Amino acid sequence: MHGGEGPRIAKADGECDNAIVLPWHDIAVDARVAALAARLKAGGPPLAAHGLWGSCAPILAGLLSRQLHRPLLFVTAHLDQADEARDDLETIFVQRADRASDRPDPVEPPVVELLPAWETLPGEGAGSGEINTERTRLCEALRRGERPIIVAPIQALMQPVPAASALDANTMTLSVGEERTPESIADYLVARGFTRLDQVEQPGDFALRGGILDIFATIDADPLRIEFFGDEIESIRPFEVGTQRSTRTLPSARITLPPPPGRTPGETTTFTHYLPPDTIIVLHESLEIAEIGRTVLERLGNPVGHYTIEALLRQFATFAVLHVSRFASESASAADTFELTCEGLPTFEGKSTDAVLQLLQLAKQQRVYVYCDNDGERERLNELIAQSIVPQEPAAQAVEIRNPIAQAIEPTGNAAANIVLQLGTIHRGFRWIASDATSPRAFAVVPHHELFRRYTLKRSIRKIAAGRPIESFLDLEEGDYVVHVVHGIGRFTGMRTAAKGGSGKSEEYLTLRFADDGVVHVPASQIDLVQKYIGAKGARPTLSKLGGTRWQKTKARVEEAVSDLAADLLRVAASRDAEGGVAYPADTRWQKEFEASFPYTETPDQLTALADIKRDMAMPRAMDRLLCGDVGYGKTELAMRAAFKAVEFGKQVAVLVPTTVLAEQHFRTFSERFAEYPFTVRCLNRYRTSAEQKEMVAAVRKGQVDVLIGTHRILSRDVRFADLGLVIVDEEQRFGVEQKERLKHLRATVEVLTLSATPIPRTLHMSMIGLRDISSLATPPMDRRSISTRVVSWSDDLIRESIIRELNRDGQVFFVHNRVKSIHTVAAKLMTLVPEARFLVGHGQMPSDELEEVMTRFINREADVLVSTSIIEAGLDIPSANTIFIDRAELFGLADLHQLRGRVGRYKHRAYCYLMLSPNRPLTSTAAKRLKAVEEYSELGAGFRIAMRDLEIRGAGNLLGPEQSGHIAAVGYEMYCQLLEQAVKRLRGEAPSQRVAVHVELDVEAYIPRGYIPSDRQRMECYRRVAACRTADDVDLLARDLIDAFGRYPKSVETLLTLTEIKVRAAGWSIKTIIKKEPDIVFTFDGEVRKIEPLFTNRGGSVRIPDGRTIHWRVPDVYFSADSLLAILKNLFRGERTGLESPPAVAGVSPRAAAAASAASHAAPEPARSATRTPSGPVPVTPNQLPADAPRKRRRRERNA
């Protein structure tokens, strides 16, 4: 019987209820382990220990290191084994054996580090920035005397590291007050392979803007912003890449950079050179390590600079060495060999109830420690165990234990009480049996993922730089087509600064050229009137004619079309509201546990989208939400959470996918995530026999299937659900008309969640608010890495070396050749190039069952290289595939290339995409631009940038229907979105959003000089932000960002910001124009006089209102200088004293307003010389920037003050 108390749950700090002893203590005090530790401490020849199964080998190594207080290097044969060993060691050092007896631990646990291996080809350099940085950082840590636990695959140790002299030569220390020129540091960075950009976005970038230098050196630290005052470092500030805003200040910074390309072998050494002399080196499966090491070198052609296994073993001999393995080694002497008794565990059933019964059976004979990755897994398992404590115990579920020592151990009583639930990651379970026969003691360690067969991939890269969001499509270059809101389609010919009117004051303009050589100069401050034209693929739009009527007619036609579209969609939504639906309850305990068991950290976008989905499901109407995002951004996880909520409420869920292979993939994913809960997940597709399909359809009809996954087969008439509650549709645009009609019928009655890998641009998303429920995932998961993308010609050597690289890291390769006629010829050539690889060929003209078999074999890793047509674009998720070749890449569209590239880079390794050009075929300029765009936009979330060129047309077609593409082409993408947004608001009876359109003429110089921001792109982005300001807080934030990123701004920028604040404040009073007409300032406005009269009450000067729409405010001549005029206007709209306060002489204003005038007066402000913005209060009059040639002592004194 299982009756009695339940399992014990370990606390967060590693201690356990009821003084439970942690498992590592039992291993540490074992007599054989103690003897092994003593031999290691005494020194001598290498030792060997065998009989170590599961994760016992790294755990034993860590405990020995801990017991002897010595550093450890744990060496594995494979990269994945190193990742797993690192996780195992982290777990045991967080939960130390010392804590079991409540003794204080005076020594902090050591840091567990992973030495990564380069993932580049010989001659390509030292690998990706983060890997090379991590290797260099570890060398520096060891030089400083740190004593970490280090795990390394043999490949990483065979690769050289910088020698101490190279580290010294490539370490840069910067301190505030130090004299250096920014140009000298920039030259230093260029020599070390850094790329100069306008704005840094990833490691290896730097930007120099006047006296501000941004450096992004490492992936594990924020980039640094160094501000100079002349040739002196004035401040050092880390900043965030996403916002480009500084986060804090530092007195100094130490930056270790990669050595310059082309270093000589004399500047490198082995990693073991840095190890402390008392390090214990543990070799896990030595024979396999030696074999893998030799194979790697042979495949790479014995590259210069790499170390052989024999050379490493000679270096290892100077340290204490321990060989650990599962089986005894014939070469080791008996005196130097220790036999430990550690067994593997039986295979668990995977289903929740069966797996828990097996666990309880195992716990009858010893204590069992179950390691869960998070609280959700632990709480759910605790529930399952409690539910299984029943009077009857099925004998059939017994775990058979064959070890004779185990048979002698007496059961310890209550099985459930023998189970301890721990937090931590142990990758492979095992059973340890103590050597003391007088007091037999055994225990088992069971990883949660083995118990329920959830083999979730762990990723090793812990941090990634967040890229900047793409807010608009104004990335203009000369020659680009643009849309002017008033004049229509033109071409952008550049930006230039010129005097405006007859005032001689300078302003910057965008020059647009229209039909018949018509030219319009648009002030940069009105840049929001200009949009980049994005239309049909490859089509050149017709330029509009200035003064013609064609543009207005085209806009009217598109406006009518979008109004019809919006009306149709609103009717569908109204019909759904009328039908009603199920209002799902708030999250239950199971729902919270299910979500908590997600092994990764959700992105902010995922959390927002999840809240949207749950809000929809809680409402008494059927959900119809589109969830879209770039490849691999976490849509499936959100779909599973929605499905869980539905099935827990007793509803059935249908998951509809376009291909059988995808159906199988989703089936595996859903099955693993739902394994701990009493819900049935089935997959209906052509892989099932007729009898299986018939049985499954009957089970669905009876309500015995909770989640049914399949292709369009599940929309067949014979598939009838007992109580269908939710339909999840993956890539709806890939289904036929008949299937779409069936879905359209379902939408009115059940919840529908549609997933799309096509990113929906923000502009379209915003225009659809109130029309279609959309959630966008734009933030990459924290551990995703960008894909190295190169445009290359066909090269036998490159192809062979790249495939060999994947074989060396246990990976797989896609080779896309999109011509069925020649695909087998290409495959045969590849087989000749790389005979050691296993190949499969797949294309769309194969019989469907044959193609599905090929794809399944590749997913199951029965082949190394898949040679196929572009069929792999269809959303396959194969984490082990991290290299893709796209043959004749110039023939593919931009979006197709991006989708194909998205098949790789879904796991921890650096991914590679090679865009191969056709030999002897001229490359068109259009194809060249397309390939350059894919190569350039290789960072995460690139789909949103590529959307600027190609993808959003496809996205709009998917969302709105292909007939809308013509309308988009007619007026451009952004204009289409604006018209759609206006139509939606008009139909819903809402006021359309209006731009701040206050026209101001004050005869002042307000622009961003090239000397302040040299980059046209960055200046346009700043002008775009100026035009987007809607509140004074927006202006203040922009001012702070400008100072942070570009330094103290000149007078013309201060004037631009002040004018912008005046405009946004004036818009709140419905003012349309503010014009300087001495001796008056003339205001025109909409609305009633009584609403605007408080603005001028008690503000001094004289006020005259001649026509009910115009106000003349007369002020003394002294205030008509530019600075004074700006100051009094700003203070006027801020509601602060202008300095003119006295009883105003008001003509045409009501007696009530005149009577309310105050007699207070105030001294007029001095004309301002230059100002620094403050969030509130009158503008201070202080120097904005000292002259560059100011004496050094004066500059230092003023800075320190």
Q: Calculate the CA 1044 to chain-centre distance.
A: 25
Q: Please state, as a whole number, how many other Cβ atoms lie within 10 Å of the Cβ of residue 936.
A: 12
| pLDDT of the residue at 201 | 78
| pLDDT of the residue at 974 | 79
- Locate all alpha helices (DSSP H) within 301-427, ordered by sequence: 309-316, 352-363, 375-388, 404-408
Max mean pLDDT among 432-441, 1010-1019, 1054-1063, 1094-1103 falls in: 1054-1063
pLDDT in tens, 19-42: 334 678 888 888 889 999 999 998
963 pLDDT higher than 90? no
Average pLDDT (633-645) is 92
pLDDT in tens, 1088-1113: 878 888 888 777 778 888 888 899 99
Q: Which of 267-281, 407-421, 597-611, 1010-1024 has the lowest mean pLDDT?
A: 407-421
Query: How far from 790 is each of 882, 895, 911, CA to CA, in Å?
Result: 14, 17, 11
124 pLDDT higher than 80? no
Residue showing tokens 């376009």: 658
Q: What pLDDT band is residue 1175 in, cutting at 50, 70 and 90?
A: very low
Q: What pLDDT band is residue 825 in, cutting at 50, 70 and 90?
A: very high
449 pLDDT higher than 50? yes
Contacts of 32 (CB under 8 A, 6+ apart): 338, 339, 340, 435
463 pLDDT higher than 50? no
pLDDT in tens, 131-168: 777 888 899 889 989 999 999 999 999 999 888 888 88
1147 pLDDT higher than 70? no
∠ Cα 1168 1170 1174 (to 5°): 95
Average pLDDT (617-636) is 84
Q: What 3-state class would DSSP assign to 1027?
A: helix
Q: Which of 57-71, 223-237, 322-336, 593-607 has the lowest mean pLDDT?
A: 322-336
DSSP 948: I
- Cα separation of 1073 and 1110, whole Å? 9
998 pLDDT higher than 80? yes
Q: Which of 1059, 1052, 1022, 1064 is nearest to 1040 (CA)?
A: 1022
Pair 700, 721: CB distance under 8 Å: yes
Buried/exposed 1101-1113: b ≥16 CB within 10 Å, e otherwise: bbbbbeeeeebbb
| pLDDT of the residue at 334 | 56
Q: The sheet that has 488-499: what strands, in order across it? A: 519-523, 506-513, 488-499, 481-484, 530-532
Record the tokens describing residue 49, joined without a space: 């220990």
Pair 491, 497: CB distance under 8 Å: no
Pair 868, 813: CB distance under 8 Å: no
Q: What's the whole-number average pLDDT of the chain?
A: 79
Average pLDDT (810-815) is 92
- Cα separation of 593 and 1195, whole Å? 60
Task: Between 1005 and 1143, name the one with better pLDDT.
Answer: 1005
Contacts of 171 (CB under 8 A, 6+ apart): 140, 254, 255, 256, 257
Pair 903, 803: CB distance under 8 Å: no
| pLDDT of the residue at 212 | 93
- Cα separation of 720 and 703, whole Å? 10
Average pLDDT (241-252) is 88
Task: State the pairing for strand pair 212-216/205-209.
Answer: antiparallel
- Cα separation of 993 and 1095, whole Å? 24
Number of DSSP helices (H) and strands (E) in the chain, helices first: 38, 46
| pLDDT of the residue at 772 | 74
530 pLDDT higher than 80? yes
Report the 3 state secondary structure along 767-816.
HCCCCCEEEEECCCCCCCCCEEEEEEECCHHHHHHHHHHHHHCCCEEEEE
- Locate all alpha helices (DSSP H) within 1029-1121, ordered by sequence: 1032-1046, 1051-1067, 1089-1096
Task: Between 1194 and 914, name the one with better pLDDT.
Answer: 914
Max mean pLDDT among 212-216, 388-392, 460-464, 1119-1123 falls in: 212-216
Q: What pLDDT band is residue 456 in, cutting at 50, 70 and 90?
A: low
Max mean pLDDT among 3-17, 120-134, 157-171, 326-340 falls in: 157-171
Pair 885, 836: CB distance under 8 Å: no
Q: What pLDDT band is residue 961 in, cutting at 50, 70 and 90?
A: low
Task: Between 55 and 789, name the one with better pLDDT.
Answer: 55
Question: Domains in the chain, start-ordered, CATH in brackets?
Answer: 8-13+342-451 (3.40.50), 54-117+269-325 (no CATH), 171-257 (3.30.2060.10), 470-532 (2.40.10.170), 582-777 (3.40.50.300), 787-939 (3.40.50.300), 999-1155 (3.90.1150.50)
Name the phi and psi angles at 911, rounded to 5.
-105, 150
Q: How far apart are the first and last CA of the chain?
A: 79
The per-residue DSSP string of 542-562 comes to PPPPTT-SHHHHHHHHHHHHH
Q: What pLDDT band is residue 404 in, cutting at 50, 70 and 90?
A: very low
Record the tokens describing residue 516, joined without a space: 């018949």
Record the tokens describing residue 1065, joined without a space: 């404040």
Task: State the pairing for strand pair 419-423/367-372.
Answer: parallel
Q: What pLDDT band is residue 288 in, cutting at 50, 70 and 90?
A: very high
- Cα separation of 864 and 826, whole Å? 16
Average pLDDT (721-736) is 85
Pair 1137, 1098: CB distance under 8 Å: no
Name the phi and psi angles at 388, rounded to 5.
-85, -5
Buried/exposed 732-754: b ≥16 CB within 10 Å, e otherwise: bbebeeebeebbeebbbebbbbb
| pLDDT of the residue at 727 | 93
Task: Between 121 and 509, name the one with better pLDDT.
Answer: 509
| pLDDT of the residue at 58 | 95
Q: What pLDDT band is residue 73 in, cutting at 50, 70 and 90?
A: very high
Q: What pLDDT band is residue 348 in, cutting at 50, 70 and 90?
A: confident
Average pLDDT (484-503) is 85
Pair 1145, 1102: CB distance under 8 Å: yes
Task: Between 1033 and 859, name the one with better pLDDT.
Answer: 1033
100 pLDDT higher than 80? no
Q: What pLDDT band is residue 653 in, cutting at 50, 70 and 90?
A: very high
pLDDT in tens, 743-801: 777 766 788 898 887 666 666 666 666 667 888 887 766 656 667 888 888 989 899 98
Q: What pLDDT band is residue 323 in, cutting at 50, 70 and 90?
A: very high
- Cα separation of 524 and 1047, whole Å? 21
| pLDDT of the residue at 243 | 81
Average pLDDT (675-687) is 87
| pLDDT of the residue at 407 | 32
Q: Which of 790-794, 944-948, 1014-1018 has the lowest mean pLDDT?
A: 944-948
| pLDDT of the residue at 800 | 92
Calculate what percentage of the chain has a pLDDT beyond 90: 28
Max mean pLDDT among 527-536, 599-608, 703-712, 758-767 falls in: 703-712
Task: Between 1020 and 406, name the one with better pLDDT.
Answer: 1020
Q: Which of 371, 344, 366 is nearest to 454 (CA)?
A: 371
806 pLDDT higher than 50? yes
Q: Please state, as a whole number, how many other Cβ atoms lie within 10 Å of the Cβ of residue 730.
A: 25
Record the tokens describing residue 1138, joined without a space: 């202008």
Task: State the pairing for strand pair 506-513/519-523.
Answer: antiparallel
Q: What pLDDT band is residue 1122 in, cutting at 50, 70 and 90?
A: confident
| pLDDT of the residue at 866 | 96
| pLDDT of the residue at 8 | 63
Record the tokens describing residue 282, joined without a space: 């543990």
- Cα separation of 856 and 850, whole Å? 10
339 pLDDT higher than 50? yes
- Cα separation of 1023 and 529, whole Å? 11
- Cα separation of 692 and 677, whole Å? 23
Task: Between 798 and 128, name the one with better pLDDT.
Answer: 798
Query: How far from 299 is each of 418, 505, 788, 807, CA to CA, in Å?
Result: 50, 69, 22, 9
Q: What pLDDT band is residue 577 in, cutting at 50, 70 and 90?
A: confident
Record the tokens describing residue 632, joined without a space: 């691999």
**Radius of gyration of the chain, Cα coordinates, nearest whole angstrom:** 35
Average pLDDT (985-1002) is 79
Burial of 1056 from C-beta contacts in 10 A (0-12 / 13-18 / 19+)? buried
